[in-house]
Amino acid sequence: MHIVPLLLAAALAAGPAAPALAAAPADIPASYFFQNPQFSAAALSPNARYLAVRTGAEGRRLGLAVIDLETDKIEVVAQYGDADVRQFYWINDTRLVYDMGDKQRAPGDRLAYPGIYAVNHDGSGQRQLALRTETERTMSSRLSQRALPSSTQLLGQAGGQDSEWVYAVRPVWDEDTWLLEQLNLVRIDTLTGLAEDVKRPVPMQDWLLDQQGEPRLAMSLKDGKRSVHYLEPASGAWRTLSTFDAYGNTAGSYTPLGFGPAGKLLVSAHNGQDKESLRLLDLATGELGKDALVALKDFDFSGSLVYTKGKLAGYEVLADGRTMVWLDPQMQAVQKAVDALLPGTINLVTPAARPQAPWVLVRSYSDQQPSIFLLYNTATGKLRPVGATHPQINPADMAQLDLKHYQARDGMTVPAWLTLPKGQKKNLPLVVLAHGGPYVRGTELDWDAEVQFLASRGYAVLQPEFRGSTGYGAQHFRAGWKQWGLAMQDDITDAARWAIAQGIADPKRICIAGASYGGYATLMGLLREPQLFKCGVSWAGVSDIGLLYTNSRSFMSDLPQAWKQYGMPQLVGDLVQDAAQLKATSPLEQAARIKQPLLLAHGTDDRRVPIQHSRLFHAAVKQGNPDAKLVEYTGEEHGWSLPKTRIDFWTRVEKFLGQHIGPQP
């Protein structure tokens, strides 16, 4: 049962010592929550003979190792002293492709692109397919001289896994704004390095391979319209399937997911209903099927397709948490057996593409258990552990996450996720955590380091899925259009008042917090509800909607121009037509009114919400508020990429909350 983790430790050398016994919740170090996982991914070869794993050890970079599941022999096939293996996947039974990143440098300090590399399962046949920097051409071997430009990146789709070829994309950037204009698709022979561009009728922004691993769909964006293009297998000619508005859930819109039986495309679409569902789209007529394949009562369909043995075997579906819906009877039986062996957790089972050995990969997790990876043997019915993302976390010390519903002031029902400290239920200090986006789903049933850290420190955490959040139907989404600082903000306030009415929250000890849009909601919450919210924490936060439209040499956002031109005016607010509303809902315009303690944090290289948002706001608020502080993290972008940043920030948050709302009355 323990042979795989032990062999990995030996193969990677200087591996970590066995983790100490998990401490009591109050003593769990911040590093347990916020260090990079030492084991973070695994993938079966198409024939299920080999398992590739991305794993590291204390003081070592993340490398790529391959385990022979017949002999238990482990081969480290990629290990670097100055970079970490990032994404990887099999391209056939014996060959992998991977790229690299740098988990020890902040994004703004990184000097290289991911590159692309291929290697055999035994470490032989390694070849660089795309450069990390263009200077490699003058300082490396002739093989690197033939490598593709450093801007070339993996497509991120494994494809057919039955040839020596792999697909990559080459971004084309606007020379003035450095925003993405198009993605060209490139087919690369991983043995020779020879490459060829895939012909396309118009500039494309996205590509989808079919189950044979060949390009079959591409998506373009022009004048606020998204078009879906289909490549006919027989003629090799492209034709346009559909064109619809790119922003908002407009009539006729859908999201392509993959291909099913009888030449049908599987898509996620509303098709006139409030909730999105999984449906078939006829590629000959472009019509959506009348009957949904998967429809959920309370959630939009969101998920992915699972293929094995050359056919569609099932779906991974997200409701409150993720689950597997199998079409294949054998996989149904496998899932049932795995769930019986691992009760109380979500168990996502992934079969190999063309299995010749009896192994399937399992990722098991819950709201209290970080992900662990296991192998299940379909012949013996036994589980074999492979690795854990956070082995120092004891699930028994973690808090439970529950999905609740409350009534907003206008009668709308709003979902919210509630996490209570272990063994505590009433009169608690509360952190209302607003998600970013905002037009995304906030969370799901999973282990969340930030939430669990706060709960381990004695705080209740409430995460409202305020109107405008996606995943809960078209009505819930549309109700948030142009409601920044208005009804969306009311939903967050009403969530806090619900927690008070339930006896969960101490009304004198409530803090509001969030990142990006959540940072904006934090500042607006302090402005609109000074008696309710005693303090605020905003990181990478928006302080003025107008600034999101701004591009200059010193203040350049990476928000796509099409989003600013067509999406933001419709969903957020038009700079001209809604000028009065945007001014009234600008935290920056009203910064002097905030008197509560405030912790601001921002990365210096954030291009999604540039640091000027926090710098300008801090300059305006600090004149009348000595308890407003700004922390800048050099090189960080929109969110914290480095463990030392995460640990420093959340340690500051812990101290800040302790000073202003407790954990003790």
pTM more than 0.85: yes
Which of 384, 373, 375, 325 has the alpha carbon at shortest distance from 345? 373
Q: Is the pLDDT of residue 382 over 80?
A: yes
pLDDT at 25: 47
Q: Is the pLDDT of residue 517 over 60?
A: yes
* Helix locations, 285-327, DSSP H: none
Instruction: Give per-residue pLDDT as tens, 419-429.
Output: 999 999 999 99
pLDDT at 280: 94
pLDDT at 111: 74
Half-sphere exposure at residue 100, Cβ-oriented, CA atoms within 13 angstroms = 29
- Top pLDDT among 27 and 620 is at 620
Which of 665, 657, 601 has the alpha carbon at shortest distance from 453? 657
pLDDT at 170: 92
* pLDDT confidence bin for 144, thresholds 50/70/90: low
Domains of the chain with bracketed CATH = 3-198+302-388 (no CATH), 399-660 (3.40.50.1820)
* pLDDT confidence bin for 462, thresholds 50/70/90: very high
Minimum mean pLDDT range among 28-32, 137-141, 581-585, 606-610: 137-141
Which of 83, 22, 29 has the alpha carbon at shortest distance from 54? 83
Measured between alpha carbons, how far is 41 from 78 in angstroms, rounded to an integer?
14
* pLDDT confidence bin for 297, thresholds 50/70/90: very high
427, 503 contact by CB (below 8 A): yes
Rg (CA), the chain: 25
Instruction: Give per-residue pLDDT as tens, 413-453.
Output: 999 999 999 999 999 999 999 999 999 999 999 999 999 99
Minimum mean pLDDT range among 3-12, 81-90, 119-128, 512-521: 3-12
CB neighbour class for 251 (10 Å; exposed up to 12, middle 13-18, buried from 19): exposed
pLDDT at 20: 35
pLDDT at 357: 97
Beta bridge partners of 605: none
